[in-house]
A = this chain, B = another copy of it.
Amino acid sequence: MGRDLMGSWEAKRALVEEYLDRWVPSQDTPPSRLHQAMRYSLFAGGKRIRPVLALAAAEVVGEEALVAMPLACGIEMIHTYSLIHDDLPAMDDDDFRRGKPTSHRVFGEALAILAGDALLTLAFQIMGDLSLYPSRVYPERVLGAVKEVALAAGPLGMVGGQVVDLEMEGRSRGEGEEEALEWIHIHKTARMIEASLKAGALVAGAGEEAEILEAYGRHVGLAFQVVDDILGCQGDEEKLGKPVGRDVEKGKLTYPALYGVEASSRKARELIDHALEILGPLGERAWFLRELALYVVDRER
């Protein structure tokens, strides 16, 4: 595939789309409205960053990408469920996501909640289904990889991050909020990006690469969220597919709100520099991850 970041990304992403479509029941399967809601959000034009990272991690370890496909698809389902639930009126109360009305706006709150629940459950079904992996993949490895994802997604990971994010919302600024902000970003965003890389590496039989990829994921994940915050307060509405300035409106704790845009951009670059340093020992094998890290800070959506 050479050194073409976008070409390689698109190839992986196309594979992810294909397998997601294969593994999520079609709208013709009853209850059809539920499957329609699941697919509406799952195929709403996501960047597929997490699953692409899982596939890339397997390749870094010397395996083919397909070895990590059930994990990649499960991780994207988990990401999608978290967006559906985060958008609910009781949570962030958002009407648009990726330029389309949010799930509860289209299907109603009850079905949006249930579509999220169904995606989360299906994710674990797919990730733990030994028959979806090449036969050379040991069951121990599958269990080890799934555990990483579960830890990153659960109360001590992503869900915990969302809880603290909501708790901090609209609070008067004060001491300890810098730590709170980092805690939220690590748990809400970085942990799942770390886990995508580590799970992809583990299922491919990684040794010490797993730790390296995890540490890389932590830094890229944090940088990704910082850039997201910046775009959320001054990005291009059309490219973002959602209104700009919502975070400020809701009194969300964000990097630009706390440090300003310039210092936040600097922070993102530092994190990426650190991520590149961490990849050092992997040499040429990690070219894709290196290019991707550089892309993360320069993206516009």
In the complex the two chains form, is B121's CB within 8 Å of A154's CB? yes
Most chain B beta-carbon contacts within 10 A, residue among A114, A121, A163: A121
In the complex the two chains form, is B85's CB within 8 Å of A117's CB? yes
In the complex the two chains form, is A90's CB within 8 Å of B113's CB? yes
Q: How many copies does the complex hold?
A: 2
Stretch in contact with the other chain, from A32-40, A210-218, A237-245: A32-40
Task: Give the distance to chain B from A253, nearest Cβ to Cβ, in Å.
Answer: 14
In the complex the two chains form, is B167's CB within 8 Å of A118's CB? no
The reply on A111 being an interface residue by CB < 8 A is yes
A115-167 contacts to B, CB under 8 A, are 116-118, 120-122, 124-125, 128-130, 138-140, 142-144, 146-147, 150-151, 153-156, 159-160, 162-164, 166-167
Chain A contact residues, majority secondary structure: helix
The reply on A207 being an interface residue by CB < 8 A is no
In the complex the two chains form, is A154's CB within 8 Å of B118's CB? yes
In the complex the two chains form, is A150's CB within 8 Å of B124's CB? yes
Say which size band chain A's interface belongs to.
35 or more
Chain A residues within CB distance 8 Å of chain B: 25, 29-31, 33-35, 38, 81-82, 85, 88, 90-91, 108-111, 113-114, 116-118, 120-122, 124-125, 128-130, 138-140, 142-144, 146-147, 150-151, 153-156, 159-160, 162-164, 166-167
8 interchain pairs (CB within 8 A)? A29-B156, A31-B164, A81-B117, A90-B110, A114-B159, A114-B163, A118-B155, A130-B144
